[in-house]
Amino acid sequence: MPSSFVLRLIIFLIINFGALGLGGLFTNSGVTSDWYQNLNKAPWTPPGWVFGAAWTTIMVCFSIFMSYATKNISLNSGFLLVFGIQVVLNILWNPLFFYFKLTGISLAVIVLLLLVVIYIFYLKLPELRIKSLLITPYIIWLIIATSLNAFVVIKN
């Protein structure tokens, strides 16, 4: 593995897990709050430990994907702007849902996040081909998370 790939991988791991950490500041107390515990949640809501395992897997795969995707990209690339929008949306969802309890707005944010991640996938599919599959865990998880958020909006 070339050192430039490893450097990009380290940078994306720091950015992606840093974003998860920022968002997580609002999640931990939110999950145990009376408000969240008393919500009507979807029957397919996974147990709490699944979220940590899923996000760890997703962010490792996404960081590898981004390391390949940025091989020939300059720092002022529009692609990096799209990545930045993804980071912001990912961070925003947690406080909107758990802290401010704005389930409808958080649903809109997660739908936008899903669309941005799908857009990133399609932007790089012709170039990365099979390596683009590294982003599919993120897309699948966002579809599940969107359905969970939508259930909360509809049933509460």
Distance CA 11, CA 70 (A): 11
pLDDT of residue 152: 98
Summarize the confidence of residues 102-130 as an average pLDDT. Answer: 97
pLDDT of residue 74: 74
Residues in the chain: 156
> Which CATH number does the domain housing residue 10 bear?
1.20.1260.100
Residue range(s) defining the domain that contains residue 69: 3-155
H helices of 70-102, where? 78-94
Please tell me whether the overall predicted TM-score, pTM, comes out greater than 0.85 for this model.
yes
| pLDDT at residue 24 tops 90 | no
How many domains would you assign to the chain?
Answer: 1
For 40-90, how does the pLDDT look when each residue is reduced to its tens digit (9 = 90+)? 999 999 998 899 899 999 999 999 999 999 998 876 679 999 999 999 999
